[in-house]
Amino acid sequence: MRSCKLPSGAEMPVLGLGTWRMGENARRRAEELDALTYGLDLGYPMIDTAEMYGEGVAEEIVGDALRGRDTLPFIVSKVYPHNASRAGTIAACERSLKRLRLERIDLYLLHWRGGTRIEETYEAFDRLRSAGKIADFGVSNFDLDDMQDAARLDKGRTATNQVLYCLSRRGPEFDLLPWMRKRAIPLMAYSPLDQGGLLRKAPLKKLADEVGCTPAQLALAWLFAQPGVVTIPKSANRERVKENFAALQVELTPEILRELDRAFPPPRAKQPLEML
């Protein structure tokens, strides 16, 4: 599995299983657990979750999927902004660890910037790292100005920034992604299929046919082709989980990449960071 190196030197896989919207409906829990378990059996090396997803239930489902495994995947979770005070971050992390049934989270993120001073959150991250509760820390939904604020505090240790980024939402390419690449900070792309909206785009379907893959695989392969980018597609369906994993084998020629740029043009000016 390809990976990106974090500022700490740790390796983060380029592909993981997302869990956003899991844990919201008890009737779907078995299906969601099955999808995660199947994905891990296929070889997915990372799971992304958060205390927000299902108000902690998604983390419990992840904990169920991890039970009894000799080898654990790379685990990412996130703290709510309203819990991101110095004491609140530490307490939230302890709750997440309990739900996940883990002793350490590989990468712990501030879900988005709220009213708490980021200095407090970073102090808590430092304490959690020193205590061995987390290995690395980072942020999510931070635009360039937010990342610049974080850079003044983090001593070069912000591991990643998880943002909305896909073929149909390329805003980060104008200034945020270049800034992160210059500092060797990987970007985590969430909703890489734009919540399914990308799959209805005729140009994507046409080019996928030319490549010999599905539209979802083409959209994911495009992200894999972007230096310093990892992604975390979510699905509760076994076939889609398998389809997404196979995107790692899709090779894109320079001509196909140029065609994708023509169909989904990169930004020509600064765009506010989009969030879902």
In a domain, residue 276? The reply is no
Q: What is the pLDDT along the chain (276 residues), one digit of tens a residue?
A: 899 999 999 999 999 999 999 999 999 999 999 999 999 999 999 999 999 999 999 999 999 999 999 999 999 999 999 999 999 999 999 999 999 999 999 999 999 999 999 999 999 999 999 999 999 999 999 999 999 999 998 888 999 999 999 999 999 999 999 999 999 999 999 999 999 999 999 999 999 999 999 999 999 999 999 999 999 999 999 999 999 999 999 999 999 999 999 999 999 999 999 999
In a domain, residue 269? The reply is no
Runs of H (alpha helix) within 43-85: 57-66
In a domain, residue 226? The reply is yes
> How many CA atoms does the CB half-sphere of 190 hold within 13 Å?
23
From residue 19, alpha-carbon distances to 56, 85, 143 in Å are 11, 25, 23
Catalytic residue among 53, 108, 165, 190: 53
User: What is the distance in angstroms between the CA of the first residue and the CA of the last residue of the chain?
Assistant: 28
53 annotated active-site: yes
Q: Report d(CA 59, CA 100) in Å as an integer.
A: 5
Q: 3-class DSSP state for residue 106?
A: strand
> How many CA atoms does the CB half-sphere of 143 hold within 13 Å?
9
**Helix 215-224 and helix 238-246, axial crossing angle in degrees, nearest 10:** 50
Give the domain extent around 118.
Answer: 3-263
In a domain, residue 275? The reply is no
In a domain, residue 112? The reply is yes
Residue 222, domain CATH: 3.20.20.100
In a domain, residue 274? The reply is no
Q: What is the pTM of this model?
A: 0.96
Q: Give the chain's domain count.
A: 1
